Structure 1
Amino acid sequence: MPELPEVESVARALAPALARRRFGEVRVLSPSAVSRSPESLHRLSGRAIERIGRRAKYLIVVLSGDWSLAIHLRMTGWLGIREGLAPPEDLKHVRVLMELVGSGWQPPGWLVFRDIRRFGRLWCGPRNRIVALPEMSRLGPEPLEISESDFVARLRERRGRLKSLLLNQRFLAGLGNIYVDEVLHDAGLHPLREASRLSVSSAKRLHASIRDVLRRAIRAGGTTRRDYFRPDGSPGWFKRALKAYGRENELCRSCGVGIVRRIVVGQRGTWFCPKCQRL
């Protein structure tokens, strides 16, 4: 599932192309993709796109009239633009088509939501109804925005293993399996460490690692292992920089001595170096 760096990369890639455009015709080819949307996606027609951003793992398109469009890519969702007056001819796995009407020099086009496994979702409506959705209202603070002091305080108040806690979207929103493993490796912390027992210096180091790993992953366009691709179809290149995730039985790239191990924590595969990340 795309995590914070992948979703941020998609938002940044689409932002210039969506600027100063408005939605025209909307075609919902798979009703399940828009289930539980506060309003029909057809009501997007005529609304101007003010900007596109991100909240946790969700894309947020801010629209005129105090409306928003929220998109969750889930496992295999892809969002991109196909230029041209006519909609794309290849509709394989396409769930939603949204016409883009340009202004001035901008050509017409279509915002395409494609999803092989049909897990992705789109919701639209007044902004206050979007932020009130259960998926959105329960999210914790943003990893790149929370201060060091607030992070340390929240961490020391919570019981549980570091791996499970960092995956908890109510604790911190946007991290997933790949980046939790990479962050813990970068900070030299074992995934089974008890969060509330971390020293202040270790908690500060973890906060710094979260920010550093996420920023580097965003610059690389995210991590493509199988299903994630950017709007132009190119992969994210952070896979080349992975030091823990998916590297079972390989030599540790940090210490050059340890062999990366895989364990299961909270039903999630977890990779770490027993030399760098002692329990």
Structure 2
Amino acid sequence: MPELPEVETVVRTLNSLVAGKRIDRVSVLLERIIQQPKEIEVFQDALQGQTIHRLERRGKFIRFLLDDLVLVSHLRMEGRYGVYAADEPVEKHTHVIFHFSDGTELRYKDVRQFGTMHIFRAGDELTAPPLHKLGLEPLAPEFSIKALQAAIGGKPTKLKPLLLNQEAVAGLGNIYVDEALFRAGLHPERPAASLSPAEMKKLHGAIVSVLQEAVDAGGSSIKSYVNGQGEMGMFQQQLHVYGRTGEPCSRCGTAIVKMKLGGRGTHYCPKCQKIRKAQ
């Protein structure tokens, strides 16, 4: 599933490609993608004539800011957007097409068909599902050590599943939680309540630095992710633990271990990320 860096890259790319374009009409080829309104005709009619002013990210969601509406899109496992000329053949697994007045189209493709789209009146999207319970934005100025401590400090929950909880920190997923915990030297099973102030500071810094570096690299193309121009991300070349089971740790040479934690594959170095008491 695309995580914060990948979604941020998609948003930045699409802003350069579709901001300012007017939607003439919308074709919905797979109804299950549309979550709100449920009536496909209402969805299509609402978007007709709207202009895309800009795109923004909230957690792993994309917000299309229109004239007086906001379209909220989640890519889920393998959703992707691309801009095409109207006369280009429509590829397989294309489920929604936004036809623009300039003769181009924004097409949403999704092999797994798990993606979602919701329409709201501008401003209403932040107080209703699916955005209303999202937690801290880790690349926002408000994401301080104190804010992270307030969100997760004192909780008995293990670090890995807690950081994957979108109500705690929005946008983190399997890749970047594993990488941040490695960078901070923290075992994925450490209870959040056991972290010392110094360890919380390390975790905060690791989350921010890993995410920012990944954004700068265009995200990680682990499976099918590409940006709005069909380009791969390159951060996978900088991963230290994720997907490196059995390979030597870049710090100490110990073999990277993979285990199941909270139903998710979790990668760590057993020497650099020992479970130990708070210092």
Scaled by the length of structure 1, what TM-score is found? 0.93
Q: Distance in 1 between matches of 2:263 and 2:118?
A: 29
Once superposed, what is the RMSD of the aligned Cα atoms? Answer: 1.4
1:109 to 93, 104, 116: 104
Q: Which residue matches 1:61? A: 64
Residues 154 and 193 of structure 2 are in contact (CA less than 8 Å); yes or no, is this contact kept in structure 1?
A: yes
Q: Which residue matches 1:275? A: 271
SS in structure 2 at match of 1:259: coil
Q: Which residue matches 1:79? A: 81
Residues 152 and 204 of structure 1 are in contact (CA less than 8 Å); yes or no, is this contact kept in structure 2?
A: no
1:206 to 203, 206, 221: 203
Q: Which residue matches 2:53? A: 50
Q: Which residue matches 2:230? A: 233
Residues 78 and 228 of structure 1 are in contact (CA less than 8 Å); yes or no, is this contact kept in structure 2?
A: yes
SS in structure 1 at match of 2:53: strand
Aligned-pair distance for 1:87?
A: 4.9
- 1:196-247: CA deviation from partner (whole Å, max 9, x where unpaired): 1100010011001100000000111111111211111121111111101111
Residues 157 and 196 of structure 1 are in contact (CA less than 8 Å); yes or no, is this contact kept in structure 2?
A: yes
Q: Which residue matches 1:26? A: 26
Q: What are the within-5 Å matches in structure 2 for residues 240-279 of structure 1? A: 240-253=237-250, 255-279=251-275
Q: Relative to 1, partners in 2 of residues 1:156 and 1:125: Cα closer, same or farther, differing over 3 Å?
A: closer
Q: Distance in 2 between matches of 1:224 and 1:272?
A: 20
- 1:91-121: CA deviation from partner (whole Å, max 9, x where unpaired): 310000001224xxxxx31010000110011
User: Are 1:98 and 2:98 matched, yes or no?
Assistant: yes
- What amino acid is the match of 1:29? L
- 1:140-193: CA deviation from partner (whole Å, max 9, x where unpaired): 111112112111232223221000100000111100011100000011100011
Residues 36 and 43 of structure 2 are in contact (CA less than 8 Å); yes or no, is this contact kept in structure 1?
A: no
Q: Which runs of 5+ in 1 are unaligned?
A: 103-107
Q: Which runs of 5+ in 2 are unaligned?
A: none
SS in structure 1 at match of 2:242: coil
Q: Distance in 1 between matches of 2:64 and 2:75?
A: 14
- What amino acid is the match of 1:261? V
Q: Distance in 1 between matches of 2:211 and 2:97?
A: 31
Identity of aligned residues (%): 39
Residues 155 and 191 of structure 2 are in contact (CA less than 8 Å); yes or no, is this contact kept in structure 1?
A: no
Scaled by the length of structure 2, what TM-score is found? 0.93
Q: Which residue matches 2:129? A: 134
Residues 25 and 44 of structure 2 are in contact (CA less than 8 Å); yes or no, is this contact kept in structure 1?
A: no
- What amino acid is the match of 2:222? R
